[in-house]
Structure 1
Amino acid sequence: MAAGLNLQRTVNGRLKLDLSNRGLTSIPEEVFDITDLEYLVVSKNKLTSIPEAIGRLQKLYRLDAHGNMLTRLPQAIGSLQKLTHLFIHDNQLKEVPSGVCSLPNLKVLSVGNNKLSAFPPGVEKLRKLRELHIYDNQLTEVPPGVCSLSNLEKLSFDEFPRQVLQLKTLEKLCAGQNGGCKFDMVPDEVENLQHLWLLSLVNNLLRTLPSTMRHLHNLREVQLWNNKFDTFPEVLCELPAMEKLDIRNNNITRLPTTLHRADKLENLDVSGNPLTYPPQEVCKQGTGAIMAFLKQEARKEKTTKAGQEEEKGSAAGKGTNEIRDVEATPVKAARQPDIMEPAAETELERKLRERREKSARMEQQVSQQRGQTAERMGTRKGD
């Protein structure tokens, strides 16, 4: 009965049937007679439902049904005990069958962009779940039980998920990227996600990032495009593992020279910002040119600062030494300044000569003051 269907074998030897993009309004009945079927793709059609007969495909490990017009799912999906991947995003679903939370091997569940206002109880039973995509729904909170999923690595929805800050094993976090309710701040507790290597906070209203992000030592990829940053978040310069940063389409005018410390950064996208520093001709040359420019500028700043500190320290030390010289020098006749130095006098010799001359003048002034004081005291005694 399945003779007209184009069955394939995946690279892993799985039996696959791809019926995507066929304009289907229903799944052919003969599909459910292929009891050895392991991978079924019916995405991007015009399906409004999936029949209960899906329960016959007990070897099914992956079902792709996204991009249809599904308004409900059959309860029989809960009987597919070998199912590991379920993609039902971009549909019209108002609820998820409770049986989905009883799938012991489910690793990826994608139900984003539907009309869900609640999630069935028992999600905490999905102990093997690694990815959960629930963005663009009508959910008011992260489904209860999600925070107890110890293997969850990636979580996508529309508001910053404060509840998931307890998920210390989380590796990927995408929040706000699909529109809906946008947020304007990231809580300090984000530092709890020590295993996080990808953080996507695009399409929001962010202007700053918490300083606690510096503790995310495993963060390799940061996506911040389409936000409201006026200044570059300096905390990003302190992420030692950052390899990719996408901060395009903000209002940043200047990149800090300290960004050159992110020496693992290989992919930097700052397009769509009104940058004046580095100059546009540098930015157009890509990440390598930008990082080289910032590093060179940082060296200049360091040299200038060191020179200023040295000059300041020299001036302070010079004044102190002069005072000490005056206090330690016994009273004696004032010494006349040296005769004009030869024309070949070096800069160092000139400075030493000027110091000697100034010291001599100060000695003369002190001597005169002491003489005047002694004279006044003698006069008083005579009275």
Structure 2
Amino acid sequence: MNPMYDFIQRNRVLAKIEKAQHSKASNLALDDFDLYTLPDVLLTCLNLSSLNLGHNRLTSLPTALFKLKNLQNISLEYNSLDKFPEVLQDLPHLKTLNISHNPIRNLAPIGNLVNLEVLWCNSCCLSSIPEEIGKLIKLDTLGARHNQISNLPKSICNLEKLRWLTLEDNKLHMLPKRFECLQELVHLNLNKNNFSYIPVQLTKLKNLRYLHLQSNEFYSIPELVINNMEYVKINLLQNPLSSSQDMDKLFPNLVLPGKELEYTLDDLPLDSDSSSDDWENSLGSSQLNYSLSESDSDEEEVLIEIPKLSKYLVTF
């Protein structure tokens, strides 16, 4: 990295942290600063509730991160974490965690984050989700796209408050037997997996409204199952099956192959990376909207003051 660029970046970070500390800010965005480590002064910002560290080069988190006891939201997406940061277990109020796009591979310690409501772990090289996931009984939103998951743990059925679940682009072909216990589930995305049938458990989810099965292995339409799901919008685009006008009339809730050109993102608001008026809390991964902080609105002021140099000017 260019030494001058490195110098400027580091001091921009220190200036932002100093400003957040002085104003007792609750939000701080330090994304996209090429950080390898976090400066110690960050741990003095005791009023922080949201911290965005995405798009850096972090390989670990400081063990003293537990000092930020008020943290409720933290984004670590697009870093270089190769294992789950155990220090997160020491943040008692953590509600939202984004660790997407890190080569973590194993989420085993996740069970200790019992207050989590939102978890993003997309593109983490996961081959499985641990049984510990079942301890997160407050979980509302879970995103695990673009991994190599072939089976779901039985304990996922304990997440009775779960409303939004995306497992797009994995290797799933079946669901746990007790999946019907997820009675609050509204949005389920199973695009780009290996399903050749609609699991019967889904017919028992009375709050389910959106089911994505695009790009799976459906060769025929399971009419008996779909008859019990007339209230669910089911996306079957890009499957190896053919449809007819009669089928369209019989099952108006289906989005069938051959209709791709007739649908835009507005027509299919529940595409995996878009939000929806019908699902106000649905977010694509890497779109957690707590990255803006009080200091961001004064970014130009911070940059103007850099020649003065932060009183915390050090190398880290």
TM-score band by shorter chain is: 0.5 to 0.7
Instruction: Write the deviation string for residues 69-104 of structure 1: whole angstroms up to 9, x where unpaired.
Output: 222222232221111111112221113332211212
1:308-333 alpha-carbon deviations (Å, 9 max, x no partner): xxxxxxxxxxxxxxxxxxxxxxxxxx
Is the counterpart of residue 239 in structure 1 residue 224 in structure 2?
Answer: no
Secondary structure, in 3 states, of the residue corresponding to 1:136? coil
Q: State yes or no: 1:156 paired with 2:137.
A: no
2:16 maps to what in 1? 31
Is residue 166 from structure 1 mapped to residue 158 from structure 2 by the alignment?
yes
Q: Is this contact kept in 1: 2:79–2:102, CA < 8 A?
A: yes
Q: Does the 8 A contact of 2:180 with 2:204 survive in 1?
A: yes
Contact 2:131–2:153 (CA under 8 A) maintained in structure 1 = no
CA, structure 1 residues 118+205, in 2 after alignment: closer, same or farther (shift >3 Å)? closer
Distance 2:9 2:211 in 1: 39
TM-fit CA distance, 1:134? 2.1
Structure 1 unaligned spans of 5+: 1-22, 287-383
Question: Is 1:184 matched up with 2:169?
Answer: no
Higher relative contact order (CA 8 A, sep 6+): 2
Counterpart of 1:238 in structure 2: which amino acid? N
For 2:166, give the aligned amino acid. C
Corresponding residue for residue 205 of structure 1: 194
Structure 1 residue matching 2:201: 3-state secondary structure: helix
Tell me the residue number matched to 2:209: 220
Distance in 2, matches of 1:162 and 1:72, equals 27
Q: 1:73 to 1:191 in 2, by over 3 A?
A: same
**CA offsets, 1:116-139, max 9 Å, x none?**
133463x44433211112232244
The answer to whether residue 235 in structure 2 is matched with residue 250 in structure 1 is no
The one-character-per-residue Cα deviations of 1:360-379 (angstroms, maximum 9, x if unpaired) are xxxxxxxxxxxxxxxxxxxx
Residue 87 (structure 1) aligned with residue 72 (structure 2) = no
Q: Per-residue deviation at 1:45?
A: 4.1
The Cα of 1:255 is off from its aligned counterpart by 5.8
For 2:107 and 2:209, how far apart are their aligned partners in 1?
Answer: 32
SS in structure 2 of the partner of residue 238 of structure 1: coil
Q: Distance in 1 between matches of 2:61 and 2:82?
A: 10
Partners of 2:16 and 2:262 lie apart in 1 by: 53
Structure 1 residues 251 and 70: alpha-carbon distance in aligned structure 2, compared to 1, 3 A threshold: same
Q: CA shift at 1:274, angstroms? A: 4.3
Structure 1 pair 136/285, CA: closer, same or farther in 2 (3 Å)?
closer
- For this pair of structures, how many residues does the alignment match? 248
For 1:29, what is the secondary structure of its paired residue?
A: helix
In the aligned structure 1, how far is the partner of 2:263 from the partner of 2:16? 54
Summarize the Cα distance change of 1:192–1:285 in structure 2 as closer, same or farther, 3 Å threshold.
closer
**Cα distance in 2 between the residues matched to 1:285 and 1:221:** 16
Q: 2:157 & 2:69 partners in 1: Cα distance?
A: 30
Q: Residue 97 of structure 1 corresponds to which residue in structure 2?
A: 85
Structure 1 residues 255 and 222: CA distance shift in structure 2, 3 A? farther
- Normalised by the size of structure 2, how large is the TM-score? 0.68
Equivalent residue in structure 2 for 1:67, among 49, 55, 59: 55
Q: Which residue number corresponds to residue 115 of structure 1?
A: 103
- By how many angstroms is 1:220 displaced? 1.1
Query: 8 Å contact 2:137–2:158 — kept in the other structure?
Result: no
Note the C-alpha offset of 1:42: 2.5
Whether the 8 Å contact between 2:13 and 2:33 is mirrored in structure 1 is no
Give the match's secondary structure for 1:28.
helix
Please say if residues 130 and 151 of structure 1, whose CA atoms lie closer than 8 Å, have aligned partners that are also in contact: yes
Q: Distance between the aligned counterparts of 1:77 and 1:255, measured in 2?
A: 58
Task: Give, in angstroms, the shift of residue 284 of structure 1.
Answer: 3.9
The CA deviation at 1:257 is 5.6
Kept in 2, the 8 Å contact 1:155–1:173? The answer is yes
Structure 2: unaligned runs, 5 residues or longer: 1-7, 265-316
1:231–1:252: 8 Å Cα contact kept in structure 2?
Answer: yes
What TM-score results when the alignment is normalised by the length of structure 1? 0.57
Opposite residue 70 of structure 1, the aligned amino acid is: L
**What is the DSSP-based 3-state SS (H/G/I as helix, E as strand, rest coil) of the residue aligned with 1:228?**
coil
In 1, are the aligned partners of 2:152 and 2:176 still within 8 Å (CA)? no
Cα distance change on mapping 1:31 and 1:220 into 2, 3 Å: same
Name the aligned partner's letter for residue 161 of structure 2: T
Higher helix fraction (1 or 2): 1
Stretch of structure 1 that moved more, 92-101 or 45-54: 45-54
